[in-house]
Amino acid sequence: MNWHVDMDVFTIFSIIGTIAFAVSGAIVAMEEEYDILGVYVLGLVTAFGGGVIRNLLIGVPVTTLWTQGMLLKTAVVAMTIAFILPVRWIQHWRRSEAFFDAIGLSAFAIQGALYATGKHPLSAVIVAAMLTGIGGGMIRDVLAGRKPLVLRDEIYAVWAMLAGAAVGLGWFETPIELLALFIVVVAFRMMSVHYKWRLPRRSLKYALAQSVHQDEHQQALAADQAAKKGDRL
């Protein structure tokens, strides 16, 4: 794929991801009753936080963010529209929140992979895809006082990593192939939401609670047996 086509595809996915995540951050801010400044801050962090983390990791100057004037303006316009939308429209968005979040995840994962491909090894491409796809959302959730979605919800970061691997291995190169990959990642993310696919987890909180309950039960039984023995004596 030539450089011009690369940049066209890179720009398209950047715009898609920016709009999806900027609006996502703005709505989370409104749910948490932040003022308009908080809406803009959270929206911008969600849209650009993943890219900043990626740049730090792969050695790209963070100041390149300030050269993305078009994307910054796009994010501000998207957040402004979200802020003035009627409540019923925002309610529609919330019902479709997982879908738009999947769009942002897929678009930014592919964008991050394209950013690193050809400059770094496959492992770095995969990590760049993952951090670009999930980094902004993680910062958004932390600032909003929520448990990060990526650490507790259905399979999430895995799809970003697989997208990065597919791009890094050269399986998807042309614009049509990258668009197909984008659709596939969105589809699998939505399937993981619908079917509640989850990675293996182990809850120490539940296990410790059960252990404490069993200890208390055993102590109660021992006390009861001692009382009965005392009555017999």
Do 47 and 91 lie in a common domain? yes
Total domains in the chain come to: 2
Same domain membership, residue 40 and residue 138: yes
Structure confidence at residue 224 (pLDDT): 64
Looking at the structure, do residues 155 and 226 belong to the same domain, yes or no?
Answer: no
Using a 10 angstrom Cβ sphere, with 0-12 exposed, 13-18 middle and 19 or more buried, the burial of residue 80 is middle
- On whether both 62 and 35 belong to a single domain, the answer is yes
Does residue 219 sit in the same domain as residue 144? no
pLDDT of 176 above 90: no
pLDDT in tens, 44-95: 999 998 888 888 887 777 777 777 788 899 999 999 998 988 888 777 766 6
Pair 139, 218 in one domain:
no
Same domain, 15 and 116: yes
pLDDT, tens digit (0-9, with 9 covering 90-100), for 119-156: 889 999 999 999 988 888 888 888 888 877 676 665 77
Q: Are residues 12 and 26 in the same domain?
A: yes
Domain coverage including residue 112: 3-201
Are residues 209 and 190 part of one domain?
Answer: no
**Is 118 in the same domain as 225?**
no
If asked whether residues 72 and 97 sit together in one domain, one would say yes
